């Protein structure tokens, strides 16, 4: 515990006795002020004369002689209506009257003989002593304990969050060993909330089924995988799927993030792994889910400095535990990562995470389904066309689609509407792709003119080539991403493969913007507006040669490898420097050719370029249909 204290981690608690004293004080106050009036019935003392009056008015119903005080206790109906509602005992008041001045015996006899007045042995003015003891002492104490317990749990949670699980846990080290704070969640998420991803769901349903009926599998001699690893790009629903499994399985579900094992002190991570599996074994059948497992499952380096001892120990412990538990008892391991290539191969071998469940970016049908799931609680206009939206969002993840639906709803609210229209969705697609509109950005007219020609340049080159996606929208409204305008092209169908011609045409389209600037304003007036086009075109051209085997010279040689398939897909060069310089030359060549092709197309259609650019400058945003209408008007250009 020394290091912890030295690190300035003083226990934040005041002495416990302090709290107990406060509790006791409150208890006394409550007993003195509040409870008496609640607990025992209120007794009113009246004078003897008043008592006689009440008898005369027929209000007195029951009388008893209280032996301890020698007083007369009586129950009287003091309601306005008198006898009619007298059945309701709430209408009675309890009264006491003192020693009567005249002969008591005579009064008592008189009362006895009155048929309206009952004479009883006792009218309780004090409630049951046991009950009152419970109410005034036991119950409040119980309450305090409950509140205290809840409070301390809440504080623990908060502390854990604030300190990233690190120090909060470290403080309990030594007392009770490392603790894993697992959520045994009731997520409320079901498979119905996960759209698309049918294969992944099938795979996971089998696991759930196994947990429900292990005998079915045992009978036939089938062994289920011990663990399943969900892999895929960020935002595709891996965590969501795991939560859905928890929601469906109806067995305890231990969820922990890989980073929670990463500890400051050597050995703590391993202790946590041990603890986790101990708990899981006790609760079997159950599911253990480790999110972002790459945080502990990274490849152990061979040689060199012995890197991160702590991490290695944690991983080793995890591997050992996974071997140790018996899958037949019904502990199923789930893990998720978007960096499968960085995982230690020992984690992936049979008997560990041997089932790999890919959770890929959704296809067209998947995107439609995801949009619909997230629009479930959103009020929609009649004109909403999910198909169009889904086609415009090729490559978007589930998380992005969810965001698009929400942005659209927010936009509808901003515009004072109570339903979401197609235009909201289209605008939010663009917001997600290109950033929000910058309504008050000042762009000078001359710059706007350049941007118009630039964008029409892209659109014209695209339209004049076969095998390129149709233009759906052109705009010169600036975006927060810095783009001064853009041309949107949406493929008609779902594209899995791209042909060489298609890539080539795409590069030509990308050079179309700059080409238009050159053609109209001259080479010396070209602008910086094409930087993003240039980057994209270069990437494509390079990939053609180094990864897609589309050059004659290098044929099907791989010269670049993708480092992480799911995160941006950065590549690293794997060829000799001489080869690299050859590749560079070839990339330049491809781009030059594409640029020339774009120039040629634009020169041939210069009239249309002027006409369309003027139209765009005036309208700022035009649709694909408007574009095609002007393009096909008169002249009748031939398509290549």
**What positions carry a catalytic annotation?**
455
Stretch that binds Zn ion, among 4-12, 368-376, 466-474, 509-517 (CB under 5 A): 509-517
For 157-183, the DSSP string reads HHHHHHTTTHHHHHTTTTTS------E
Tell the smallest beta-carbon distance from residue 434 to ligand ADP (Å): 21
Q: Does 397 bind Mg ion (CB under 5 A)?
A: no
Q: Which of 194, 513, 566, 613 is in the footprint of Zn ion by CB under 5 A?
A: 513
Distance in Å, CB of 362 to ligand ADP, minimum: 6
The minimum distance between CB 211 and ligand ADP, in angstroms, equals 21
| Cβ within 8 Å of residue 401, ≥6 positions away | 362, 367, 370, 371, 374, 393
Stretch that binds Zn ion, among 78-86, 232-240, 466-474, 529-537 (CB under 5 A): 529-537
Q: Out of 310, 344, 533, 560, name the contact with Zn ion by CB under 5 A.
A: 533
Nearer to Mg ion, 239 or 511 (CB): 239
Work out how close the CB of 524 gets to Zn ion at its nearest, in angstroms, rounded to a whole number. 19
> Does residue 46 sit in helix, strand or coil?
strand
Q: Which of residues 237-276 bind Mg ion (CB under 5 A)?
A: 239
Q: What is the token pair recorded at 308?
A: 């991160």
Q: Shortest distance, CB of residue 322 to Mg ion, whole angstroms?
A: 21
User: Which residues does residue 44 pair with via DSSP β-bridges, in sequence order?
Assistant: 95
Euclidean distance between CA atoms 199 and 259, whole angstroms: 28
Considering the complex, state which of residue 243 and residue 355 has its C-beta at the smaller distance from ligand ADP: 243
**Contact pattern from residue 325 through residue 344 relative to ligand ADP, giving x for each residue in contact according to CB under 6 A and a dash for the rest:** -----------x--------
Q: Is 194 helix (H, G, I), strand (E, B) or coil?
A: coil
Separation between Cα atoms, residue 174 and residue 177, nearest integer Å: 5
Give whichever of 239 and 515 is closer to Mg ion, judged by the CB atom.
239
**Residue nearest ligand ADP, Cβ-based:** 398
Q: Which of 180, 290, 331, 402 binds ligand ADP (CB under 6 A)?
A: 402
Alpha helices in 30-138 (DSSP H): 35-39, 48-56, 104-113, 129-133
429 binds, among Mg ion, ligand ADP, Zn ion, none (CB under 5 to 8 A by kind): none
The smaller minimum CB distance to Mg ion, of residues 334 and 483, is found at 334
Given 168, 196, 227, 258, the residue binding ligand ADP (CB under 6 A): 196
Q: How far apart are CA 344 and CA 337, in angstroms?
A: 12
Least distance from Mg ion to the Cβ atom of residue 238, Å:
5
Cα separation of the two ends of the chain: 78
Least Å distance, CB 280 to ligand ADP, is 21
334: left (phi over 0), alpha (psi -120 to 50) or beta: beta
What are the structure tokens assigned to 489, written together?
């092209």
Is 197 a residue that touches ligand ADP (CB under 6 A)?
yes
Name 37's Cβ contacts closer than 8 Å, sequence gap at least 6: none
Measured CA to CA, the distance from residue 221 to residue 223 in angstroms comes to 6
Under 8 Å between Cβ of 313 and 268: no
**Interactions with ligand ADP, residue window 365-384 (CB under 6 A):** 370, 373
Residue 467 CB, nearest distance to Zn ion (Å)?
A: 20
Candidates 276, 622, 296, 270; CA nearest to 473 is 622
Region from 8-16, 396-404, 434-442, 592-600 binding ligand ADP, contact rule CB under 6 A: 396-404
Which of ligand ADP, Mg ion, Zn ion, none does 513 bind, CB closer than 5 to 8 A by kind?
Answer: Zn ion
Distance (Å, whole) CA 93 – CA 75: 6
The residue behind tokens 């050719």 is 593
Which member of 180, 182, 194, 520 binds ligand ADP (CB under 6 A)? 194
Q: Which residue has the tokens 């080479």?
A: 523
Biggest CA pair distance of the chain: 133
Give the SS3 label for residue 404: helix
Indicate whether 457 belongs to the interface with Zn ion (CB under 5 A).
Answer: no
Residue 533 contacts which entry, Zn ion, ligand ADP, Mg ion, none (Cβ below 5-8 A, type-dependent): Zn ion
Provide the β-strand partners of residue 222: none
Asked whether the beta carbons of 334 and 228 are under 8 A apart, the reply is yes
Cβ closest to Mg ion, residue 317 vs residue 338:
338
The binding site for Mg ion (CB under 5 A) comprises 239
The binding site for ligand ADP (CB under 6 A) comprises 194-197, 234-240, 336, 370, 373, 398-399, 402
The binding site for Zn ion (CB under 5 A) comprises 513, 533
């Amino acid at each position: 515990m020394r290091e912890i204290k030295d690190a300035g981690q003083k226990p934040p608690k005041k002495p416990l006795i302090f709290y107990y004293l406060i509790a006791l004080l409150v208890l006394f106050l409550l007993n003195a002020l509040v409870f008496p009036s609640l607990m025992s019935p209120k007794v009113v003392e009246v004078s003897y004369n008043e008592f006689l009056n009440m008898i005369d008015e027929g209000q007195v119903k029951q009388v008893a002689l209280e032996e301890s005080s020698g007083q007369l206790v009586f129950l009287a109906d003091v309601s306005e209506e008198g006898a009619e509602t007298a059945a309701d005992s709430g209408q009675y008041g309890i009264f006491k009257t003192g020693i009567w001045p005249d002969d008591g015996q005579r009064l008592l006899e008189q009362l006895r003989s009155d048929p309206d007045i009952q004479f009883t042995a006792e009218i309780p003015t004090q409630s049951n002593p046991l009950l009152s003891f419970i109410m005034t002492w036991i119950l409040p104490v119980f309450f305090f304990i409950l509140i205290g317990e809840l409070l301390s749990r809440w504080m623990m949670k908060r502390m854990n969050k604030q300190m990233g699980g690190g120090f909060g846990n470290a403080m309990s080290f030594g007392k009770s060993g490392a603790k894993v704070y697992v959520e045994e969640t009731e997520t409320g998420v079901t498979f119905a909330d996960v759209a698309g991803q049918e294969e992944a769901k099938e795979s996971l349903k089998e696991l759930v089924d196994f947990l429900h009926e292990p005998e079915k599998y045992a009978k036939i001699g089938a062994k289920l995988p011990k663990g399943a690893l969900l892999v895929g790009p960020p935002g595709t629903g891996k965590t969501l799927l795991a939560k859905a499994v928890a929601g469906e399985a109806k067995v305890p579900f231990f969820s922990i993030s890989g980073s929670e094992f990463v500890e400051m002190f050597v050995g703590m991570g391993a202790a946590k792994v041990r603890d986790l599996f101990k708990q899981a074994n006790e609760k079997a059948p159950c599911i253990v889910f480790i999110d972002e497992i790459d945080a502990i499952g990274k490849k152990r380096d061979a040689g060199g400095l012995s890197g991160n001892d702590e991490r290695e120990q944690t991983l080793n412990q995890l591997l050992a535990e996974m071997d140790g538990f018996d899958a037949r008892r019904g502990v199923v391991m789930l893990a998720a990562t978007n960096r499968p290539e960085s995982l230690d191969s020992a984690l992936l071998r049979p008997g560990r995470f041997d089932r790999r469940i890919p959770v890929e970016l959704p296809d067209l049908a998947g995107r439609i389904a995801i949009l619909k799931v997230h629009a479930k609680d959103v009020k929609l206009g009649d004109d909403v066309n999910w198909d169009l939206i889904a086609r415009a969002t090729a490559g978007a993840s589930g998380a992005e689609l969810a965001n698009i639906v929400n942005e659209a709803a927010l936009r509808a609210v901003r515009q004072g509407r109570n339903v979401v229209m197609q235009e909201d969705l289209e605008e939010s697609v663009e917001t997600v792709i290109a950033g929000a509109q910058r309504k008050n950005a000042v762009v000078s007219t001359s710059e706007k003119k350049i941007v118009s020609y630039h964008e029409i340049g892209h659109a014209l080159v695209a339209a004049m080539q076969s095998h390129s996606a149709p233009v759906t929208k052109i705009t010169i409204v600036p975006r927060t991403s810095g783009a001064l305008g853009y041309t949107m092209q949406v493929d008609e169908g779902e594209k899995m493969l791209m042909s060489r011609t298609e890539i080539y045409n795409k590069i030509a389209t990308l050079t179309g913007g700059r080409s238009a600037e050159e053609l109209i304003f001259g080479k010396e007036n070209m602008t910086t507006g094409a930087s993003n086009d240039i980057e994209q075109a270069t990437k494509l051209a390079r990939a053609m040669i180094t990864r897609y085997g589309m050059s004659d010279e290098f044929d099907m040689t791989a010269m670049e490898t993708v480092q992480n398939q799911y995160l941006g897909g950065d590549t690293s060069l794997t060829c000799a420097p001489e080869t690299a310089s050859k590749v560079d030359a070839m990339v330049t060549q491809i781009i030059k050719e594409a640029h020339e092709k774009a120039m040629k197309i634009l020169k041939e259609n210069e009239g249309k370029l002027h006409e369309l650019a003027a139209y765009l400058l005036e309208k700022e945003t035009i649709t694909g249909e408007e574009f095609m209408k002007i393009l096909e008007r008169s002249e009748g250009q031939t398509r290549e």
